Structure 1
Amino acid sequence: MAPRILVDATAVPADRGGLGRYCDGLLVALDRLGADLAIACQRADEQRYGTLAPNARIVAGPAALAHRDSRLAWEQTGLPYVAQQVAADVIHLPAYILPTRAGRPTVVTIHDVTVFAEPEIHDPVRSTYIKSATRTAARRATRLIAPSMATRDELVRLLGADPTHIDVAYHGVDHDVFHRPDEIEIKKVSDRLGLHGRPYIAYLGALEPRKNVPNLIRGWARAVSDHPDPPALVLAGSGGWDDEVDAALATVPLNLKVVRPGYLPRTSLPGFLGGALVVALPSRGEGFGLPVLEAMACGAPVLTTRRGPLPEVGGDAVAYTDPDPWGICHALSGLIEDPASRRTLSEAAYERSRQFSWKASAEAHMASYERAVAAHASPR
């Protein structure tokens, strides 16, 4: 008999972000697979998950879960109680946090371990907590899920995790949401950004050091400064804590245009990504690289780095650069001046994106849940 799974989605932030897209895509796919599913979530998400996973039992926690400290405390005591109430066979923790006394098998997703490999590119206050939570999960969880082979290998290398207890489940992409846009979608976004058809280089993500935005700004400025019709740079996404971003922007020549629209609604993303001359995501560290995959699904020519799992996602369907400004400058210049290469990348990226689905990801998660339950039932 299939196990009853309780997924803790209480850590999903209001702006969804990568964790939100992971939980949304996975839960929809698990529900469609017919999984015996219960979802713990914040009250603000109760209706959302009821719609996304209509066959699941939705358990909304107390209003205090909107506050991080209260949520962390609730996950230690309230979540095990919910697991008991819904008679869960296994608990899936998609965001590092593991109850000390869960009372049943646990599966924890470790999204990345760059906080151990490159601590200088992380918020020092938050990284202390993430390191502690990750070590605890690696030591105590029944099974771990990594979103890439690279992240699995780093878990083994840096934390000494048992490789036989780690399952790799690639993320998927919602091809209905992230699709090749039509001209109307592209025009709406271009007009909204104040570009009105002007070509642009797109970036989508948080402004934090591991995303390497300052070097992207410097590399773009060098690549287009002498161009007769220089493409703009659009830095879209939520805020961050990278102090170097403003310093890099201060060096941009006055004849170049930078647009910072902040958060873009999901419905605008196909037009934004698919309408870009190039989507540049020269990250210094990822656990998977979901923005790269989403841009590929929109048919965008993508420029990224060979760091971590990014080649697992992009394969031969994206362009690669070194993360320094001169490398980015050289790679961007080549793509800007070569429409044929961009068209080839666009087609290849879209076709490769079809290899990643939330259905396949959900099937890999189900296998991990079943292994966790079997391990818990086996005599020691």
Structure 2
Amino acid sequence: MRILLDATAVPADRGGVGRYVDELVPELAAAGIDLTIVVQHRDVEHYRRLAPDASVVAAPAWTARRPARLLWEQTGLPMLVRRIKPDVVHSPHYTMPLLTRTPVVVTLHDATFFTTPELHLRSKAVFFRTAIRVAARRAARLIVPSRATRDEVVRLVGARPEKFTVAYHGVDHGLFHPTTVAEQSRVRESLGLAEASYVAFLGTLEPRKNVPALIRGWVAACTDRVDPPALLLAGGRGWDDKVDAAIEAVPAHLTVRRTGFLPLEDLPAFLGGAVVVAYPSLGEGFGLPVLEAMACHVPVLTTRELSLPEVGGEAVAYCGTDAASIGRELAGLLDDPARRGMLAEAAAERAVGFTWAAAARLHAETYEAAAAH
């Protein structure tokens, strides 16, 4: 079966959809899928390394900007489809080409553009709500990373449940695994923390991640401690304009730091070196940082919003989304090393069940169903 995978939506920083596509492509190739991958010029060599047997095609250089890419998706991509003649087109990031008779599979990562639109930039929420409605109506099949996402799209858009495949994300167990004290010390020193302990957060600082409430909860949990852990916020700066005010209100004796993007190879030691990884999100399509922290053998504190219980199960600790609940549950974990150890063990065991190979098998089955459609 020949699949044309449109990877032109992958951003330069490889976040979000980039992590999904980068992990999926080698497993699809290993599963025997005949892949043609359309990419941005900057990514040609990257995908040739990821999948040496795949055909990698560069989109025009002018598609690097999002409006131009979307225009090309509706004009140039259908022309490419006619030339390559794939059995199925996979559009891995919400939008899809409309002017093609070849079956299209679309990945929908998230339904929070409907459930909590106030947590997104208004233009982004409007755009992705429209894209999801179009895909639900026009795509041959839909792939989602959780049952929660499927159920929300079915409920809010009226999509047919039988069109969906729930394919949980995997975790790269070769990268995300328990790290050594030396590895953790190297990353800690690179962040200027010496031997200090810390609570870790990983993700874009956008309103949906609930970082201001995390900061206030961490302050409540740590302000009276003799040796309080720092709070490290790793990831893109995002657009949550309340983060700065929350940081400014932190007492002087506590340490909170935005690290920005960390190299991918540093993430396991960053997560594994934390006393707790806190991810009090207001809603996720999946919640990959939770799974990656679990694979690093570290206790995780998260919420029960949308898909997060599907990822964490009984192997993580849960809190509410308000600062008081976050602070209370975080303090309980900091005071209970035995519970942290039990959660870390359970998390590592549960994470083993999430693999990109399993996700690729479900994608392959979905391609077959789309082609039959």
TM-score by length of 1: 0.97
CA contact (8 A) 1:289 1:310 kept: yes
Q: Distance in 2 between matches of 1:62 and 1:261?
A: 34
Paired residues for 1:162-241 under 5 Å: 162-241=160-239
Letter in 2 for 1:53: A
Residue in 2 that maps onto 1:73: 71
Residue in 1 that maps onto 2:332: 334
Deviation at 1:64, TM superposition (A): 1.3
Residue in 1 that maps onto 2:149: 151
Which residue of 139, 142, 146 maps to 2:140?
Answer: 142
Paired residues for 1:1-380 under 5 Å: 3-375=1-373
Deviations for 1:28-62, whole angstroms, at most 9, x for unmatched residues?
10011111111011011110100101111101111
Deviation at 1:69, TM superposition (A): 1.1
Q: Distance in 2 between matches of 1:14 and 1:67?
A: 11
Give the 3-state SS of the residue equivalent to 2:16 in structure 1: helix
Q: Distance in 2 between matches of 1:303 and 1:364?
A: 29
Q: Distance in 1 between matches of 2:92 and 2:178?
A: 29
Q: Distance in 1 between matches of 2:195 and 2:166?
A: 42
CA contact (8 A) 1:18 1:290 kept: no
Deviation at 1:357, TM superposition (A): 0.4
Q: Distance in 2 between matches of 1:159 and 1:239?
A: 31
Deviations for 1:80-136, whole angstroms, at most 9, x for unmatched residues?
122222221100011011112122000000101111011111111211111111111
Q: Unpaired runs of 5+ in structure 2? A: none
Q: Distance in 1 between matches of 2:131 and 2:59?
A: 22
Q: Distance in 2 between matches of 1:23 and 1:184?
A: 31
CA contact (8 A) 1:150 1:308 kept: yes
Letter in 2 for 1:91: V
Deviations for 1:192-230, whole angstroms, at most 9, x for unmatched residues?
111111000000100111100010000001100000001
Deviation at 1:65, TM superposition (A): 1.9
CA contact (8 A) 1:202 1:276 kept: yes
Give the 3-state SS of the residue equivalent to 1:345 in structure 2: helix
Q: Distance in 1 between matches of 2:14 and 2:291?
A: 17
Letter in 2 for 1:371: A
CA contact (8 A) 1:193 1:259 kept: no
TM-score by length of 2: 0.99
Give the 3-state SS of the residue equivalent to 1:334 in structure 2: helix
Count of paired positions:
373
Give the 3-state SS of the residue equivalent to 1:242 in structure 2: coil
Q: Distance in 1 between matches of 2:296 and 2:12?
A: 24
Letter in 2 for 1:256: L
Q: Unpaired runs of 5+ in structure 1? A: 376-380
Q: Distance in 2 between matches of 1:242 and 1:93?
A: 29
Q: Distance in 2 between matches of 1:162 and 1:230?
A: 51
CA contact (8 A) 1:295 1:302 kept: yes
Q: Distance in 2 between matches of 1:179 and 1:346?
A: 12
Letter in 2 for 1:197: E
Letter in 1 for 2:60: P
Letter in 2 for 1:31: A
Q: Distance in 2 between matches of 1:67 and 1:199?
A: 41
Deviations for 1:244-283, whole angstroms, at most 9, x for unmatched residues?
1111112110110011110000010011000000000000
Deviation at 1:299, TM superposition (A): 1.0
Deviation at 1:18, TM superposition (A): 2.0
Deviation at 1:148, TM superposition (A): 0.6
Deviation at 1:177, TM superposition (A): 1.5
Give the 3-state SS of the residue equivalent to 1:178 in structure 2: coil
Deviations for 1:299-350, whole angstroms, at most 9, x for unmatched residues?
1111100001111110111110001000000110011111111111111111
Q: Distance in 2 between matches of 1:178 and 1:359?
A: 15
Give the 3-state SS of the residue equivalent to 1:201 in structure 2: strand
CA contact (8 A) 1:7 1:93 kept: yes
Q: Distance in 2 between matches of 1:85 and 1:294?
A: 39
Deviation at 1:171, TM superposition (A): 0.6
Q: Distance in 2 between matches of 1:40 and 1:178?
A: 28
